[in-house]
Amino acid sequence: MSEAKRLAGEKAIEFVEDGMIVGVGTGSTVAYFIDALGGIRDRIKGAVSSSEQSTARLKQHGIEVLDLNHTGTLSLYVDGADECDPHKRLIKGGGAALTREKIIAEASKQFVCIVDPSKQVPVLGRFPLPVEVIPMARSLVARAILAMTGGQPVWRDGVTTDNGNVVLDIHNLSITDPVAMEREINQIPGVVSVGLFARRPADIVIVGGEPPIVLR
Ligand code: 5RP
């Protein structure tokens, strides 16, 4: 799948305009986008990064990493996904960067999601849904999510997010109303964010292939 990821990441460069500050997601597909962004680094003002991992790669390419508090609204955000439904709603957080990703998506006028074809699903939920949780609330949130959704929460043992929190992955879901599930999980005390991007879905999805497909 890495070839499809590369083709999606490189296609997204077409959405970058001169002088932009680009929002940059996290993951192996985004890594291809960052590498391509490095080739046009003199045309952009800089990037806002969603993770320490992406920050390191951006800096390796000589791209300035800026603070979202200083940039204001961004024109463009490019990120991958773990699943994407036909309405461009997403599951994200496989790389545990979901909270910063959600913040940048919210701050951006256009969200371009780059995926390989394996990420396309008719209904979200085959991929375990990541939820970032304050450490002391881990068991409380797991019990609440089990009661609320029937899905099985599994602690991603050994993983600490860039924000110092833990991740629960919710297995065996079939998410027919992702907007409602996003809202309900968000309301559980101790939840920092849920990896459902339904209230603010992607605007454009690029599916890597020969040629890449751009879904608008
Ligand atoms: C990280 C993410 C990634 O976008 C998602 O996990 C997809 O990763 P990859 O491009 O490596 O398949 O949400 O938190």
Domain containing 155 — which CATH number?
A: 3.30.70.260
**Separation between Cα atoms, residue 26 and residue 199, nearest integer Å:** 20
pLDDT in tens, 56-95: 999 999 999 999 999 999 999 999 999 999 999 999 999 9
**Separation between Cα atoms, residue 6 and residue 36, nearest integer Å:** 9
Nearest CA to ligand 1 atom 6: 94
Domain residues for the domain of 165 are 129-192
DSSP 8-class letter at 69: H
**Separation between Cα atoms, residue 21 and residue 37, nearest integer Å:** 11
42 and 110 assigned to the same domain: yes
User: Which pLDDT value is given to residue 1?
Assistant: 57
Nearest CA to ligand 1 atom 7: 81
Of 75, 92, 164, whose CA–CA distance to 128 is shortest?
Answer: 92
Residues with catalytic function:
101
33 and 88 assigned to the same domain: yes
Q: Tell me: is residue 35 an annotated ligand-binding position.
A: no
CATH code of the domain covering residue 58: 3.40.50.1360
Which atom of ligand 1 sits closest to the CA of residue 26?
A: 1
- For the residues 135-139, what does the mean pLDDT come to? 98
**Separation between Cα atoms, residue 48 and residue 54, nearest integer Å:** 10
Task: Provide the domain count of the chain.
Answer: 2
**Run of H or E residues at 166:** strand 166-171
Most ligand 1 atoms within 8 A of CB, residue of 92, 114, 115 to mutate: 92
